[in-house]
Each structure stands twice: as structure tokens, then as C-alpha cells.
Amino acid sequence: MDYRKKRNINQVVWFSTLRVMSFIVVAILFCILGFILYNGASAISWDFLTTMPQDGMTKGGILPAILGTFYLTIGAIIFAFPLGILSGIYLNEYAGKGWIVKLIRMMTNNLGAIPSIVFGLFGMALFVNKLKFGDSIIAGSLTLGLLVLPIVIRTTEEALKQIDDSFRTGSLALGATKFQTIIRVILPMAFPNIITGLILSIGRVSGETAPIMFTAVAYFLPHLPSSIYDQVMALPYHLYVVATSGTDIEASRPIAYGTAFVLIVIVLILNLSASWLRKFFGNKVKTNS
């Protein structure tokens, strides 16, 4: 009886510890979210979102930073999504088991592990200096695109892997070509998973600072960018400079909170829509079967 009692007490103690620690992790998240959202909410107004910064960034809005992040993200998406999805399809549907495929897979795996600052270094060496784009939207977009490329590939591959082979063989047996099978059968089925993964990766792109620091962004620009060869301001970099090196750090605190607020809201919206889509498609698939 003693042994049994002891081990049950042991279990209760350990389980409560695990529960408390898990609770702490969740609490930390809400702590960070709450802190930013609570402090940032007071800075947010229509003017804040739609006007230029003023007085050494202690007043005014963050319009150029919002637009800059938008442009950079769109640029990265245009570059990385088609390329990544096609590569993912190739790796999962076409590539055999040869050494070339192994090499490509190893390369993409390693590409995904490279720190973002290294992408920044590379973007600076290739796009800014070698190709002479200068600090520009296009250089930043390409760098960010490279950064999400492995994520897009992995998302696509994972989604395709989940589809049972019977669908492929079934379609082929009906006389469809491989191309038709992929376009008409496999991709529509994998679509929900691909799209949710891609939405989450947009969040990653829009929040990255290190890759664009030396390829695209400026501390402050009096004008909005007019071409893809212009420098831009961007939300994450704006938050960094306002928080650490403004002319008057105390006075620019509200701007920093507001910028962090906008960044968090972007991530929240993307995450919520991803999980909403997951639910939406999940129901749909159920009714189909």
C-alpha cells in the first residue's frame, strides 16, 4: 500500500508541475500579447495609420512603414510562392530517388536552417552590390523571397504527402495524364493545407527585420516609394529604430508601441484566418466524403 500511495503522490506532484509549467508558457504568450496590445491601443488612431512620421519620429504616423512592409511582402510572395509550390510539386510528385533529388532536398532543408541575417548578408552582396539594385524594394523582396522559399516548399510537400496514393493511381487508371492528375485531383485536395501554410509564412515575411536591414529599408524617408528601385521604410525596422535609436526615445515610445501593435495585429489576423480556413476546409472535406 505504501508503494502504491507513494507513486500516486509522485504522479500527482509531477502532473501538477507539468500543468503549471504549461500554464506558465501560455501565460507568457498572453502576457506579451496583452502588454503590446494594451499599451499600443492608445497610440492607434486613423491618423497614426495614414500619416507620415513627424518631428524626428516622435509624432505623426507610420503610413510609409505600413506601405513598405506591404510592398516587400507582396514582392516576396510573387517571387517565392510560384517557385516554391512548383519545386514542392516536383520534389513530391516527379522526382525519383536519384542523387539529384537527394541533393535538392538536402539543399532546401539546409536553406531553411540558415539564419535570417545570413540571408541579409547574401542579399546585400548579390542584389545590392553585384546586381546594382541598390537598397530597394526589389532587392529586399528577393531576399525575403529566398527566406520563405524553403518554408513554401516544405508546406507544399507536406500537403501533397498527406494525399493517399490511391487517388493518384485511380486518376491515372482512368486515362488521365500525370499533369491532369496533379492539376485536377491532387492540387485541389492539397489546396487547404497549402493555403494555410502559405498564410502563416506571410506572417514570417512581414515580420522579418534582419534580411531587409541592408537590402531595402531606410531609417526615414520623406516620400513614399515610387518604383521598385526605391528604398522603403518597413514596420519591423521602424520598430527597431524607434525603440533603440530615436532622437528622443521617451517621446517616441507611443510610436514604438503603436508599431508593435500593428505588427502583432497583422500576425494575429493571419493566424486567425489560417485556423479559420483550416476549419472551413475541414468541414467541406467532410461533407464531400
Partner 1 sequence: MFIKRKYFFEYLWEGLLKISGGLTSVAILLIVIFLFSEGIGIFNNSAVEEGYSIIVGKDNDVENLSGEKIKDIFDQKIVSWKTLGTTIENHDSIMLLRLDDIASYVSENKIASDFSNLPQIIEQIMKDNPSVIGFLPSEYINKDSDYRILDLGKIKPKDFFFGKQWFPTAQPSPLFGVLPIVLGTLLVSLIAILIALPFGLAVAIYSAELASEKVAKLIRPVIELLAGIPSVVYGFFGLIVIVPLIQKLFNLDVGETALAGSIILAIMALPTIITIAQDAIMSTPRSMKEASLALGANKWQTIKKVIIPYSISGITAGVVLGIGRAIGETMAVLMVTGNAAVIPTTLLEPVRTIPATIAAELGEAPKGGAHYEALFALGCILFIFTLVINLIVEYISSKNKNKA
Report the site for partner 1 in 164-183 (rule: CB under 8 A): 177-180
State how far the alpha carbon of 267 is from the alpha carbons of 14, 111, 260, 270, in Å.
Answer: 35, 24, 11, 5
Nearer to partner 1, 227 or 244 (CB): 244
Long-range pairs of 88-96 with CB within 8 A, sequence gap ≥ 24: 88/152, 88/153, 88/154, 88/155, 88/156, 88/157, 88/160, 89/156, 89/160, 89/182, 89/187, 91/153, 91/157, 92/156, 92/157, 92/160, 92/161, 93/160, 93/178, 93/182, 93/186, 94/178
Q: Does 220 bind partner 1 (CB under 8 A)?
A: no
Instruction: Report in angstroms how near the CB of residue 195 gets to partner 1 at its nearest.
Output: 15
94, 167, 191, 280: which one contacts partner 1 (CB under 8 A)? Answer: 94
Instruction: Report in angstroms how near the CB of residue 127 gets to partner 1 at its nearest.
Output: 10
Instruction: Report in angstroms how near the CB of residue 113 gets to partner 1 at its nearest.
Output: 4
Q: Does 126 bind partner 1 (CB under 8 A)?
A: yes
Q: How far apart are CA 126 and CA 149, in angstroms?
A: 17
Nearer to partner 1, 227 or 250 (CB): 250
Q: Does 17 bind partner 1 (CB under 8 A)?
A: yes
Tell me which residue has cell 497549402: 194
What residues numbered 34-73 form the site for partner 1, per CB under 8 A? Answer: 35-36
41, 78, 103, 131: which one contacts partner 1 (CB under 8 A)? Answer: 103
87, 141, 155, 252: which one contacts partner 1 (CB under 8 A)? Answer: 87
